[in-house]
Structure 1
Amino acid sequence: METLNLTRPNLALTLALLLSLGAPAALHAQDRPSPRPEDEAKESAPVFGLAGPYLAARMAAVESDYRAAARYFAQAVAHDPGDAYLADSALVAFCSAGEIERGVKFAARMEERGDSTELSRLVRSADLVHQGDWDALLERTDPEKSTRPHRKDRDLMVGMIRAWALMGAGRASDAMVLLEEMAKTPDVAPMVNYHLALARALVGDYERAAKLLEGRVTGAHVLGFMARAEILAQLERRDEAIALLDNLPGLEAEPQLLALRDALKAGEPVAFDVVRTPADGVAQVFLTFATALASNPNPEPLSLIHARLASWLSPEMTEARLMTAQLLQEHQQFDLAEEEYETLRRKGQMRPVAELARIDALSQADRHDEAEKAALSLTAAYPELPQAWIALGDLLRQQQKFSQAVPAYDKALTLLTDAPDQARWFPLYARGIALERAGQFERAEKDLLAAIEIRPDQASLLNYLGYSWIDRGENLDRALELIRRAVELSPDDGYILDSLAWAYFRLGRYDEAVAPMEKAIGTMAADPLVNDHLGDIYWMNGRKREAETQWKRALSLNPDSNDDVDPERIRAKLERGLDAVLAEEGDEASLVVRQAGAGDNPRALD
């Protein structure tokens, strides 16, 4: 029986409406006063009461469906405008969904009602930056007028925003003094000094700006290096700027930095334009905090909001929009992420790193045709970028277009001829899989052995070659050694345990196959192939009733969805027994089943 997925927004709303229809408030909706036209949220509110929209909003929020959450929280607030939690939740949803203008209006209404929150105050400050009302922003950020208790991270952000507001109000000296005072705190000094350097460069004090950026650059990756190189260029220290950029790993994937380096080498004029206005400076404050929050093991929800505000204040800041897209992608909001990537392309700001992330997002959303088209476009735009060809090869391989994937990996490896070995092992491994699955085992074996020489501690790689040999009846001792080593490196990986058990089975060591296969089934109970394997192992150990149970379970787990499972063969085993099936297959018995692990498991290449 199919079960309802109540986390889907449309079903969530259905449930919520059904619940609210049973509430007394819903039965007497006609007795309510008409909504005020000036209240945007109330205009959109249905007559179903608070319970429905609230439950739908909560479910949408859990699923990170920000647009649905914004719609339902707005409706919930309309029914209970005095609830500060609902109001703040609505504001979070508005900002996360990118509806910043709507969030600004909502934050203003919250303050008018006396329901301001930390987020509403932040949004109101961003709006003042957007308007260029620096005096009002200075009034709002005046520490002597704050009644809130001190908190280190909040005070730091407010202080940095205030410094840029002082710049906007024409009080540059006061801004520098404030930032210098803040930089006296050691653990935040690198972050503050980066902004102090930007502020000094904006007023033409390039000498002190350059000194502040010596050594480690602490800004967002691209912006930080761009700022330092541009500042060095203003000081006629072009050789240092060129050397800085030439020594950056991954430079070939950053066209902005490449263009800057080429301009420096050609002696062309180079302006300092990482920040053009104080508003850009505030946008960088938001981006700085978004980056810091996103780097935590459990990223803060505010990281997305900060990135959204940065992008709103400085629409041409590629890094802010890219971070927004990547955070949306991490939260499985692929459609919203695609909107950001599309905006980058429309503005002519397509960067390989952004396109690679977009291709991955499209692939995860099962939009394979779009992902393949994007990968082909990227290889056309940047034919010398090996990562683009690897991404194309991965997409083709994941769609089982193995023969088509091989030339893409060929091109990538040609481009990586002089690269360090660590940059070559993955495409060697991936090409080896594609070749093996395309029936070109001799070439595949060479690639896999070369990859193992570089990464002898990569469990899925050892597993793949080891089982390939077992499957072909070749190099059996070494094959088993590779698989055992893979299990040592990744003892809880069900796919690798399945490989070890099936290797024992294919070698006729049936009693040794039981323990690893039972452990594998413990982690992969819903995998039809692993259940089928366990059934075969039980049968060969005389445990025929248990074998039949496993085969029946394999048939119940949608085996048609797995290319390596033959449902008719399982039915034949249930009808006649494994011995009879193997006898009928004769010499082919040694090739009865392919391993479910490295070749088809998407985790094999993680």
Structure 2
Amino acid sequence: MALIALTSAPLISAPAFAAPAVAQNTAPEAPAAKAEPAKPAAAVTPAPAIRGLSGPYLAARQAAMENDYTSAANYYLQALAQDDTDPFLQDSALVALISSGEMERAGALAVTMSDQGRATELARLMQRSELARTQRWQELVDQIDKAPPPAPGEDVAQTAPGGSQLLDKMMRAWALLGAGNARQALSSFEELGKIRGARPMVNYHLALAKAAVGDYEGAEQLLADPANGAHILGVVARAQILSQLERNDDAIAMLEATPGFTEEPTLIALRDRMKKDETLPFDSIRNPADGIAQVFLTFASVLATTEEPDPLALIHARLASYLSPELGEANLLSAQMLQGFGQFDLAEREFEKLRERGDMRPIAELSRIDALARAERPDDAEKAALALTAAHPELAQGWIALGDLLRQQDKFAQAIPAYDKALDIIGDKAGEARWFPLYARGIALERAGQFPKAEQDFRTALKLRPDSAQVLNYLGYSLVDRNEKLDEALKLIQKAVELRPDDGYILDSLAWAYYRLGRYDEAVSPMERAVAAMASDSLVNDHMGDIYWMVGRKREAQIQWQRALSLKPESETDAARIRAKLDRGLDEVLAGEKPGGTKLPETPKN
């Protein structure tokens, strides 16, 4: 049937300098068709040994192309065992090691490359990270100062690892602070702020540096500009700074005015502490290594929010976590990047780190649930959703996520109470925010055999969002499938087609409405377009066969039914009906289905 299976999109936390600042609790309109589930990532196992150099190299290249960083790293290291002098192999192994989170092995390889005089830009960046992690500040300053100057015409703000002059100089400014040269450090940040396009990024770090040396007034002046700190880390830092300035009321007002405040337990906890007259400590930056970690996170966020997320974003996020293991936003960004690259098991490790620290932030958990579902691990996803609703029962999005998971597993009766809870939390006056849970509950009710209630939800959702093609199509098709209100159903579906003229599911609904109305000739064109868009869908091919039969194209009808049968119908009942049509024709099958009609004997399976 042409009913569209949907999920609500999880909220995604905005890391430093990824716009918008804080996640909004607005579920976007779900995709028109059920997406093909991503293949689950294979369990991490050591790469099998392959003799010689070419075998491991080719296997590593293939693994790297598939974003299988763990296998790629192991294969590259096998290749290096055959030839440890090839800088290309070394650098490729280093990329894979960092991407997979194998930071200690990456550090050891970077040292080897340096000792051999073959250090690449990434190897030098790894070494600088190690110096920062061990707080060897003067050595870090000296190493950056010895780096070759940019080539003529090179963009000073480029984001290539190690070769980025802006990245190097920001690291150097933090290292100067670590080495005890606070005045020079602040001056360096101020000078960097003059670089075209870099001012907001640099001013955020200048504010952190000022706060780190006790200049809270100067830090607040910088963070008061939304351009400099309009992200969750900036909001937290500013709240702490205002509290240090004995301005708790201003900090509370700022927090409560932050978009998405009610979905961020971290911000709520800060607000509640200040309401008890507690002065918040400034611990956004505990040492310069934390500052450099946020530099990496800043660059990672910029790279991750481009039209095509740059794989270097993951490297920068990994380095941020390496320097500041408590920086949850770095774990979250790594997890989100890994999800996008299809590495769900590696993503799960990052989410688990957040949980182990007791940092169950709803936004992170919603991303985690989405990753588990897409990795075809529904039991784990359901457990995570249940844990989230238990920890944060006030979060409507958690209940929606639970309802979606239950619905995707055909647990329709169990999904309904989850959506009920979400709608109770959202309230009757929330307006358009109610449309998605109403729509999703309507689907669960319809599939649970409670159509009158489902119809009420669909119609309420349409009042809130009249131009929702999904709701128009689902309600229209449901009426068609029940042979009820066919004229209205046709109008609903025609409007959905106007909104999404190339959607295969909606075209199928339109054709089936014409079929139910006996307008078979009009049904042919939209059904052919639906089949062209959804050639591998059993139900659409089955519908095409029925329509061909009714316009006298019986041989083509049989071909479509045979194809529908080969595509594994949704249930054995559907398959049996198709076999009956192939054996006896549609006319006899329909006659047997009429009230009082003689049921035909079951057609044996082939």
| Fold shared by both chains (TM-score > 0.5) | yes
Taking the aligned partners of 2:354 and 2:46, their CA distance within structure 1 comes to 33
Contact 1:13-1:56 within 8 A present in 2 as well: no
SS of 1:542's equivalent in the other structure is: coil
User: What is the Cα deviation at residue 218 of structure 1?
Assistant: 4.2
- Residues 1:374 and 2:384 are matched in the alignment: yes
- Measured in 2, the distance between the counterparts of 1:396 and 1:545 equals 41
Aligned pairs for 1:4-23 (under 5 A) are: none
- The TM-score normalised by the length of structure 1 is 0.87
Report the Cα distance in structure 2 between the residues aligned to 1:278 and 1:192, rounded to whole angstroms: 15
CA distance in 2, matches of 1:478, 1:491: 19
C-alpha distance in 2, partners of 1:220/1:95? 29
* 2:300 aligned residue: 290
Instruction: Work out the percentage of aligned pairs sharing the same amino acid.
Output: 60
Q: How does 1:106-125 map to 2 (within 5 A)?
A: 106-125=109-128
Q: CA deviation at 1:72?
A: 0.6
Matched, 1:581 2:589: yes
Query: Against the structure 1 CA distance between its residues 83 and 487, is the aligned structure 2 distance closer, same or farther, given a 3 Å change threshold?
Result: farther
Instruction: State the shift of 1:48 in Å.
Output: 1.1
Name the structure 1 match of 2:370: 360
Q: Tell me the CA shift for residue 117 of structure 1.
A: 2.0
Find out whether 1:409 has 2:433 as its counterpart: no
Give distance in 2, aligned partners of 1:415 and 1:269: 32
Residue number in structure 2 paired with 1:540: 550
**Counterparts of 1:115 and 1:587, CA distance in 2:** 83
Distance (whole Å) between structure 1 residues aligned to residue 223 and residue 384 of structure 2: 37
Aligned residue identity for 1:283: A
In the alignment, residue 76 of structure 2 is paired with which amino acid? F
Deviation at 1:287, TM superposition (A): 0.7
Q: Tell me, yes or no, if the aligned pair for 1:13 and 1:53 is still in contact at 8 Å.
A: no
Q: How far does residue 159 in structure 1 lie from its aligned partner after superposition?
A: 1.3
Q: Distance in 2 between the 1:584 and 1:336 partners?
A: 55
Query: Which has the higher relative contact order, 1 or 2, with Cα contacts under 8 A spaced 6 or more apart?
Result: 2
Distance (Å, rounded) in 2 between the aligned partners of 1:204 and 1:494? 61
Structure 2 spans left out of the alignment, 5+ residues: 1-38, 159-163, 598-606
- Other structure's SS at 1:457 match: coil
Matched residues in 1 for 2:231 and 2:392: separation? 21
Q: Does 1:519 align with 2:529?
A: yes
1:569 alignment counterpart: 577
Q: Which amino acid aligns with 1:280?
A: D
Pick which of 325-334 and 384-393 moved more.
Answer: 325-334
1:13 CA displacement: 11
Query: Is 1:94–2:104 an aligned residue pair?
Result: no
- On the 8 A contact 1:9/1:59 being kept in 2, the answer is no
Task: Give unmatched runs, 5+ long, in structure 1.
Answer: 1-5, 18-45, 590-606
The within-5 A match list for 1:201-600 is 201-216=211-226, 218-219=228-229, 221-417=231-427, 420-559=430-569, 562-563=570-571, 566-587=574-595
1:70-117 CA-to-partner distances (Å, cap 9, x unmatched) read 101111223233333222211111001100111111112122223222
Contact 1:137 1:162 in 2 (8 A): yes
Count residues with an aligned counterpart.
551
Per-residue deviation, 1:169? 0.8
CA offset at residue 451 of structure 1?
A: 1.1
Residue aligned with 1:267, SS: coil
Q: CA deviation at 1:249?
A: 2.5
State the alpha-carbon separation in 1 of the partners of residues 596 and 295 from structure 2. 66
> 2:416 touches 2:444 (CA, 8 Å); kept in 1?
yes
Contact 1:307 1:323 in 2 (8 A): yes
Out of 64, 75, 79, which is 1:76 matched to? Answer: 79
Say if 1:197 and 1:210, in contact at 8 Å, map to a contact too. yes
Deviations 1:405-453 (A, max 9, x none): 1111111101101663232111111111111111111211111111111
Amino acid in structure 2 at the alignment position of 1:57: A
1:203 counterpart letter in structure 2:
V
SS of the residue corresponding to residue 594 of structure 2 reads helix
Q: Is the 8 Å Cα contact of residues 466 and 482 (structure 1) preserved in structure 2? A: yes
SS in 2 for 1:141: helix
What is the CA-CA distance between 1:9 and the residue it aligns to? 7.9
Q: CA deviation at 1:320?
A: 1.0
SS of the residue 2:197 aligns to: helix
1:61 aligned to 64, 68, 71, which one? 64
For the aligned residues, what is the CA RMSD?
2.2
Is the CA contact (8 Å cut-off) linking 2:176 and 2:185 kept in structure 1?
Answer: yes
- 8 Å contact kept, 1:9–1:56: no
Counterpart CA distance in 2 for 1:123 and 1:356 is 32
Secondary structure, counterpart of 1:363 in structure 2: helix
* Structure 1 residue matching 2:329: 3-state secondary structure: helix
1:501-548 Cα distance to aligned partner (Å, 9 max, x none):
111111111111111111111121111111111111111111111111
Distance 1:129 1:430 in 2: 50
Q: How far does residue 564 in structure 1 lie from its aligned partner after superposition?
A: 8.8
CA distance in 2 between counterparts of 1:500 and 1:565 reads 24
Spell out, residue by residue over 1:208-267, the C-alpha distance to the aligned partner (whole angstroms, 9 max, x if none).
111111131545832111011111111122222111111123222211111101111111
Distance in 2 (alpha carbons) for counterparts of 1:504 and 1:525: 20
Report the AA paired with residue 453 of structure 2.
Answer: R
CA distance in 1, matches of 2:390, 2:312: 37
Aligned mates of 1:8, 1:400 — CA distance in 2: 24
491 and 82 in structure 1: CA distance in 2 versus 1, 3 angstrom threshold: farther
Which residues in structure 2 correspond to 1:76-225 (within 5 Å)?
Answer: 76-142=79-145, 145-146=148-149, 150-151=154-155, 152-153=157-158, 154-216=164-226, 218-219=228-229, 221-225=231-235
CA deviation after TM superposition for structure 1 residue 134, in Å: 1.0
What CA deviation, in whole Å up to 9, does each residue of 1:32-71 have, x standing for no partner?
xxxxxxxxxxxxxx56112211221122112211111110
Structure 1 Cα separation of the partners of residues 477 and 358 of structure 2:
47
Q: Is the 8 A contact 1:325 1:336 kept in 2?
A: yes
| CA distance 1:510–1:194, shift in 2 (3 Å) | same
Q: State the AA in 1 paired with 2:258.
A: L
Instruction: Name the CA shift for 1:372/1:323 in 2 (closer, same or farther; >3 Å).
Output: same
Say if 1:404 and 1:136 are closer, same or farther in 2 by CA, change over 3 A: same
Contact 1:220 1:319 in 2 (8 A): no
Q: Comparing 91-100 with 550-559, which one deviates more in the overlay?
A: 550-559
Q: 1:13 to 1:490 in 2, by over 3 A?
A: farther
Q: Relative to structure 1, is the Cα distance of residues 309 and 213 closer, same or farther in structure 2, using a 3 angstrom cutoff? A: same
Decide whether the 8 Å contact of 2:91 with 2:123 is kept in 1: yes
